[in-house]
Amino acid sequence: MKKVFAIAATLAIVGALTAGLVSASAAPRQKKTVNVAVFLASAANTYWAASLLGAKDAAKKFPDVNVKFTVFDGQFNTNKQVNQLRDALVSKKYDAWYVGPNDGGPLTPTIKQAIKQGVKVGCSLVPCGPDIRATKVQIPGQTIFAGIGFFPNGQLLGRLVAQGCKGIDPCKVFWMPGLPTLPLEKARTDGLNSIIKKEKNIQVVAIQPGGYLAAPALTATQNVLQAHPDINVIVSSGDQMIAGAVRAAKAAGKKGIKMYADGCTFETKKLILQGLETGCAVYLPRTEGRLVVTALVNAVLGKGKANQSVDPNKLTKVGSLRTRANIASFTPEFHS
């Protein structure tokens, strides 16, 4: 009888232990949390909003990691953005920074300090560092830069203008940058001029800022069309500004003006298919966001490498220029 009780007791103990092991193995594993500070040049800007969507896309690719984003709105104010980076550095709350600079030069000292403290840093569109024309990582230890560079982008616009001016002599061009005084716009303008100055038939007869918005671009175009009613080509650094130019040309009864811009947005695709816009240089903000955050999370997890420089257009093989001949197959990534 004692043996029976002993065996029963032993079985009860084993059962309890087994149940405990099963319960422990069934408990969900604790996810690692990666805190990412996202510094956007402007949270209201559609380009940067698309970049943030790309960042969130990337986070979903890490099922065992809880990627938490804290978004800072720089409101296109460099001093404000510098202070946001400094506050984040002092807080020591973040494992990684995704920086969308308004101007990368003034951010450089704080980014260097962050990297020294072990923060993983990635940037897109605008380079982090003193050289606005750089397409390679400038700050040692920076994890990634995803973008095409402003000087090369200007050259793409120049190629479109040269294409549009073919067979027209003289070919009168209106160049409409967003804000001509910005370093990035100066680099883009230099890229544009490096191409069109080789073409003797091209004359840039007007340069007016469009303010990166359709309304001021409409006004600027109206003024230019009054002074130069025989404009052949309008080229701008933003699709939203060409949308304003299209409206101004229509109101003035002007037909046949070739129009080119940056972005290849959803709205631009429609305008090109309708024959109201002629072509665009491709930007992929959502892809940039995916690339940067994927690299940052991997870096925090001890994977991947630093000093990555990625041209999203080359990586995705979508090409850099779109016209009516090939826009139908292109999927835009943001709105004007």
How many folded domains does the chain comprise?
Answer: 2
- pLDDT band (50, 70, 90) for residue 27: low
The pLDDT value recorded for residue 29 is: 66
Residues of the domain holding 253:
151-282
37 and 156 belong to one structural domain:
no
Is residue 334 domain-resident? no
168 and 129 belong to one structural domain:
no
Please say if the pLDDT value at position 11 is more than 60.
no
Q: CA 205, CA 82: separation in Å to the nearest integer? A: 38
Please say if the pLDDT value at position 7 is more than 60.
no
Query: What is the crossing angle of helices 78-91 and 104-116, to 10°?
Result: 10
Tokens found for residue 195: 């191409």
Q: CA 235, CA 260: separation in Å to the nearest integer? A: 5
Q: What is the mean pLDDT of residues 221-238?
A: 97
Is residue 38 domain-resident? yes
Q: Regarding predicted confidence, which is higher, 29 or 90?
A: 90
169 and 235 belong to one structural domain:
yes
| Residues sharing a CB contact under 8 Å with residue 220, sequence separation 6 or more, in sequence order | 176, 208, 209, 210, 244
The pLDDT value recorded for residue 22 is: 42
- What's the full length of the chain, in residues? 336
The pLDDT value recorded for residue 144 is: 98
Strand partners of residue 171: 202
Q: What Cα–Cα distance (Å) separates residue 298 from each residue in 30, 238, 301, 332?
A: 18, 33, 5, 27
Please say if the pLDDT value at position 78 is more than 70.
yes
Is residue 81 domain-resident? yes
Kindly state the percentage of the chain with pLDDT values over 90: 84
289 and 273 belong to one structural domain:
no
300 and 179 belong to one structural domain:
no
Nearest to 43 by CA among 17, 76, 82: 76
299 and 198 belong to one structural domain:
no
Straight-line distance from the first to the last Cα atom of the chain, in angstroms, rounded to the nearest whole number: 86
Is residue 18 domain-resident? no
Is residue 27 domain-resident? no
278 and 288 belong to one structural domain:
no
CB 72 within 8 A of CB 118: no
Q: What is the mean pLDDT of residues 326-334?
A: 95
218 and 306 belong to one structural domain:
no
198 and 238 belong to one structural domain:
yes
Nearest to 164 by CA among 150, 175, 153: 175
Q: What is the pLDDT of residues 313-325, one digit of tens each?
A: 988 888 999 999 9
219 and 126 belong to one structural domain:
no
Mean pLDDT for the chain overall: 91
Long-range pairs for 75-83 at CB < 8 Å and ≥24 separation? Answer: 75/42, 75/43, 75/44, 76/41, 76/42, 76/45, 76/102, 77/102, 78/102, 78/103, 78/106, 78/107, 79/106, 81/39, 81/41, 81/107, 82/106, 82/107, 82/110
Kindly state the percentage of the chain with pLDDT values over 70: 91
Q: Which residue blocks in 60-149 are alpha helix, DSSP H?
A: 78-91, 104-116
Q: What is the mean pLDDT of residues 80-98?
A: 98
The pLDDT value recorded for residue 44 is: 87
Q: What is the pLDDT of residues 103-141, one digit of tens each?
A: 999 999 999 999 999 999 999 999 999 999 999 999 999
Is residue 141 domain-resident? yes
92 and 200 belong to one structural domain:
no
- Is residue 42 classed as helix, strand or coil in its secondary structure? coil
Is residue 119 domain-resident? yes
The pLDDT value recorded for residue 6 is: 42
Please say if the pLDDT value at position 255 is more than 80.
yes
* pTM higher than 0.85: yes
The pLDDT value recorded for residue 30 is: 80
The enclosing domain of 266 has a CATH number of 3.40.50.2300
Q: CA 178, CA 235: separation in Å to the nearest integer? A: 11
Q: What is the mean pLDDT of residues 11-34?
A: 55
The pLDDT value recorded for residue 109 is: 98
Q: What is the mean pLDDT of residues 240-261?
A: 96
240 and 308 belong to one structural domain:
no
Q: What is the mean pLDDT of residues 221-230?
A: 97
Is residue 15 domain-resident? no
